[in-house]
């Protein structure tokens, strides 16, 4: 069932690509035939795109029809699963009919009619319903409990969040249509003032004016939906409600940031696709959160106060320390150093003071947001591990809901700050680091494979890219060299730590390399990555304008890294692992310092 959901999302995204690529008239006004033929000439790219969308949509209809027939045979009449699949079939048919009207009436490409402005939002809302029906069908296929009418409070919170998403979808569809329909005029506008006048001037088109409502509404409805999700988590702290409320908040935040980037970058087609993808993910998260809310009875949250007995001043101080601890300041310090050092390298000297401070602070907040989300998601692991048992989310010094709101605030402020003092690219790279850490490392890899730190560790290699992009506005080969050095250094550093706390990881069930394959295999892997780190950090420096002193110091640093790694291989003991762990931090800091000084003088 989940494959059907994913396939439906891909079909919807491809349909949006048909619009964004101006391929809606690729088959002329013929439907269901293409250009009046069953097998048209596909030498025209627009025809190929439109025909591909029709074929994939037809396959979706056949797939859902097959599921409905199977459900009718396997499920009793009136079963929730049977109804959910039936509704998805109905929504798919309606979507096809709307597509037929758009094509046959010529409501595509640069058409600016009111009819198109009506059909486009209806099309998107219907696709939302299609996705929602498939989510519920998947819910029931996996044994989900029947949905029941909740109390008035949770019901109103769900309605507020659901209606808000539909309103944003409607205004977003109008905004996207405006960018397509008025594409030539918008491209011909010479200045920002001209573009603003086209959207909000006295003679502005109602469609473009309607599109302006989207970012304005998004600002307020974003806060409303976050609040609604947080309130549901508090009133019903059932694990499923809390989990999907967090995913909803992540999706909303990512949408806001992507939407801002769309505005600043004039909404290129690929970013429109990304924005729609996030909208679908957010909608799915909302439906899942709603399903858990409606399926299970209310829970009574714990009323224990972790600050009981403290004076108001002591309480405030403890709360501040708890929120700071969420960001893991000691872990972030080295990342910030690589960011600032990269800025110095890119500028070939010390960059503007205000930019440096704001980019560093923004980087701290973005990394702190990622660490906070990590603590929320991994609370069950932290409880089981001695090293992390005192984290604020474990001790309840900060609730999961408040921690998440804190992370969201840090993310939004960080993105705005980095954009304001540098550029959108730097802000997007910082945000990409957060997404990689949360989704790729924490959610996807950490509990599934011992390669988690190899792939997921790339999140820690984003800070140099952020620093470089903040100064130059682009990324050249040297910026990616810095990324590669951190990427290859990460397994050396973290596997040394993993040897030290192997028992903790084993107790929590985390498949770190020392737990899965033993300490000797880990030491072998560390040596391999130490060699790769040395190769990547030394060879590109030779013959590229670096003086011999810099090259010599970098060689010495790598000799030390290799010696420490070989020492651990010969004797895989805790003292050796601890020595390598500490040296690896010194290594990275000194590497970036030495190269930064060379570029600055």
CA distance 523 to 570: 9
Greater model confidence, 212 or 347: 347
Mean pLDDT (the chain) is 87
- Domain edges within the chain: 2-295, 317-443+460-470, 476-601
Q: Could you give the C-alpha distances from 235 to 33, 190, 298, in angstroms and in order?
A: 53, 52, 7
Contact 499, 514 (CB under 8 A): yes
37 three-state secondary structure? strand
pLDDT at 590: 96
Contact 598, 478 (CB under 8 A): no
CA distance 41 to 378: 54
Closest by CA position to 152, among listed 358, 298, 307, 349:
298
pLDDT at 554: 94
pLDDT (tens digit, 9 = 90+) per residue, 219-266? 667 777 877 887 787 777 778 888 888 888 888 888 888 887 776 666
Segment 380-386 shows an average pLDDT of 79
Contact 50, 20 (CB under 8 A): no
pLDDT at 597: 94
pLDDT at 465: 95
Q: Could you give the C-alpha distances from 545 to 218, 599, 600, in angstroms and in order?
A: 49, 9, 12
Q: Could you give the C-alpha distances from 115 to 30, 118, 183, in angstroms and in order?
A: 19, 5, 18
Contact 564, 579 (CB under 8 A): yes
pLDDT at 349: 92
Buried b (16+ CB within 10 A) or exposed e, 250-277: bbbbbbbbbbbbbeeeebeeebbebbbb
pLDDT at 297: 59
Class of residue 495 by CB neighbours under 10 A (exposed 0-12, middle 13-18, buried 19+): buried
Q: Is the pLDDT of residue 300 over 70?
A: no
The whole-model pTM stands at 0.62
pLDDT at 304: 64
Segment 391-414 shows an average pLDDT of 84
Q: Is the pLDDT of residue 575 over 90?
A: yes
CA distance 164 to 258: 18
CATH of domain 476-601: 1.20.120
Q: Is the pLDDT of residue 305 over 90?
A: no
pLDDT at 266: 66
Residues ≥6 apart with Cβ < 8 Å to 515: 450, 498, 502, 505, 506
Buried b (16+ CB within 10 A) or exposed e, 454-469: bebbbbbbbbbbbbbb
pLDDT at 219: 67
Class of residue 562 by CB neighbours under 10 A (exposed 0-12, middle 13-18, buried 19+): middle
Residues ≥6 apart with Cβ < 8 Å to 381: 388, 508, 509, 510
CA distance 457 to 182: 43
CA distance 92 to 130: 7
Number of H helices, E strands in the chain: 25, 0
User: Which of the residue ranges 67-76, 444-453, 495-504 would you say has the lowest mean pLDDT?
Assistant: 444-453
Closest by CA position to 557, among listed 595, 522, 596:
595
CA distance 546 to 562: 22
pLDDT at 408: 84
CA distance 224 to 123: 25
Segment 387-401 shows an average pLDDT of 82
pLDDT (tens digit, 9 = 90+) per residue, 78-103? 899 999 999 999 999 999 999 999 99
1: pLDDT confidence band, cut at 50, 70 and 90? confident
Closest by CA position to 557, among listed 536, 587, 596, 597:
587
Each as own residue / partner, the long-range contacts of residues 124-127 (CB below 8 Å, 24 or more positions apart, any chain) are 124/169, 124/170, 124/172, 124/173, 125/166, 125/169, 125/170, 126/91, 126/94, 126/95, 126/98, 127/12, 127/15, 127/91, 127/95
Give the HSE-up count for residue 125: Cα atoms under 13 Å, Cβ half-sphere.
15
The distance from CA 353 to its chain's CA centroid, rounded to whole angstroms, is 30
pLDDT (tens digit, 9 = 90+) per residue, 538-561? 987 876 778 889 999 999 999 999
Q: What size, in residues, is the chain?
A: 601
Where is 102: in which H helix or E strand? helix 80-104
% of residues, the chain, pLDDT over 70 = 94
pLDDT at 189: 73
pLDDT at 303: 54
Peptide bond connecting 32 to the previous residue in cis, omega within 30 degrees of 0: yes
181: pLDDT confidence band, cut at 50, 70 and 90? confident
Proportion of the chain in helix, strand, coil states, percent, rounded to 5: 80, 0, 20
Contact 108, 21 (CB under 8 A): no
pLDDT at 264: 67
34 three-state secondary structure? strand
pLDDT (tens digit, 9 = 90+) per residue, 412-471? 899 889 999 998 889 889 988 988 888 788 877 888 899 888 888 788 999 999 999 999
Greater model confidence, 231 or 497: 497
Where is 63: in which H helix or E strand? helix 45-74
pLDDT (tens digit, 9 = 90+) per residue, 340-349? 999 999 999 9
Write down the CATH superfamily of domain 317-443+460-470.
UbiA prenyltransferase (1.10.357.140)
CA distance 479 to 394: 38
pLDDT at 260: 76
Closest by CA position to 367, among listed 440, 434, 420, 424:
434
Greater model confidence, 45 or 299: 45
112 three-state secondary structure? coil
Segment 389-407 shows an average pLDDT of 83
Contact 363, 419 (CB under 8 A): no
CA distance 367 to 407: 10
pLDDT (tens digit, 9 = 90+) per residue, 116-149? 989 999 999 999 999 999 999 999 998 888 888 7
Q: Is the pLDDT of residue 217 over 80?
A: no
Where is 567: in which H helix or E strand? helix 548-570
pLDDT at 532: 96
430 three-state secondary structure? helix
pLDDT at 222: 77
Segment 106-123 shows an average pLDDT of 91
% of residues, the chain, pLDDT over 90 = 47
CA distance 277 to 65: 25
């Amino acid at each position: 069932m989940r494959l059907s959901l994913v396939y439906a999302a891909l079909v919807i995204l491809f349909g949006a690509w048909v619009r964004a690529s101006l391929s809606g008239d690729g088959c002329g006004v013929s439907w269901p035939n293409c250009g009046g033929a069953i097998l048209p000439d596909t030498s025209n790219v627009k025809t190929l795109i439109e025909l591909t969308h029709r074929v994939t949509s037809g396959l979706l209809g056949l797939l859902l029809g097959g599921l409905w027939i199977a459900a009718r045979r396997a499920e009793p009449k009136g079963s929730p699963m049977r109804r959910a699949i039936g509704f998805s079939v109905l929504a798919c048919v309606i979507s096809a009919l709307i597509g037929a009207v758009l094509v046959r009436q010529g409501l595509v490409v640069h058409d600016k009619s009111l009819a198109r402005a009506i059909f486009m939002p209806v099309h998107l809302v219907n696709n939302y319903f299609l996705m929602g029906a498939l989510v519920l069908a998947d819910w029931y296929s996996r044994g989900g409990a029947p949905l029941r009418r909740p109390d008035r409070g949770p019901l109103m919170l769900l309605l507020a969040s659901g209606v808000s998403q539909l309103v944003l979808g409607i205004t977003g569809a109008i905004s996207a249509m405006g960018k397509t329909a008025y594409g030539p005029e918008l491209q011909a506008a010479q200045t920002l003032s001209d573009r603003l006048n086209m959207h909000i001037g006295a003679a502005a088109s109602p469609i473009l004016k309607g599109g302006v409502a989207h970012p304005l509404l998004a600002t307020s409805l974003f806060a409303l939906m976050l609040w609604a999700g947080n309130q549901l988590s508090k009133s019903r702290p059932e694990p499923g409600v809390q989990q999907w409320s967090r995913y909803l908040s992540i999706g909303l935040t990512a949408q806001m940031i992507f939407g801002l980037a769309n505005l600043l970058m004039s909404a290129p087609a690929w970013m429109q696709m990304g924005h729609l993808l996030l909208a679908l993910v957010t909608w799915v998260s909302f439906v899942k959160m709603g399903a858990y809310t409606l399926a299970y009875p209310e829970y009574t949250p714990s009323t224990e106060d972790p600050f009981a007995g403290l004076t108001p001043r002591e309480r405030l101080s403890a709360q501040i320390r708890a929120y700071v601890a969420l960001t893991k300041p000691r872990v972030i310090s080295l990342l910030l150093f690589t960011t600032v050092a990269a800025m110095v390298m890119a500028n070939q000297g010390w960059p503007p003071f205000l930019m440096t401070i704001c980019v560093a602070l923004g980087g701290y907040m973005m990394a702190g947001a990622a660490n906070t989300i990590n603590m929320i998601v991994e609370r069950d692991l932290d409880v089981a591990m001695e090293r992390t048992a005192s984290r604020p989310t474990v001790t309840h010094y900060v609730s999961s809901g408040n921690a998440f709101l804190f992370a969201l605030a840090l993310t939004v402020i960080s993105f705005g700050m980095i954009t304001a003092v540098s550029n959108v690219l730097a802000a997007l790279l910082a945000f990409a680091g957060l997404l990689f850490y949360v989704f790729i490392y924490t959610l996807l890899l950490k509990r599934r494979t011992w390669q988690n730190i190899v792939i997921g560790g790339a999140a820690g290699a984003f800070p140099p890219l952020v620093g470089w992009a903040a100064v130059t506005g682009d990324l050249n080969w040297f910026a990616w060299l810095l990324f590669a050095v951190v990427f290859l250094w990460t397994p050396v550093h973290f596997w040394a730590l993993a040897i030290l706390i192997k028992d903790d990881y084993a107790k929590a069930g985390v498949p770190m390399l020392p737990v899965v394959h033993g300490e000797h295999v880990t030491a072998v892997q560390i040596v391999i990555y130490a060699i790769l780190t040395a190769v990547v950090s030394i060879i590109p420096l030779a013959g590229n304008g670096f003086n011999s002193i810099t090259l010599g110091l970098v060689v010495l640093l790598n000799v030390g890294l290799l010696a420490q790694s070989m020492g651990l291989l010969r004797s895989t003991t805790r003292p050796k692992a601890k020595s390598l762990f500490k040296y690896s931090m010194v290594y990275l800091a000194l590497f970036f310092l030495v190269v930064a000084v060379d570029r600055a003088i």
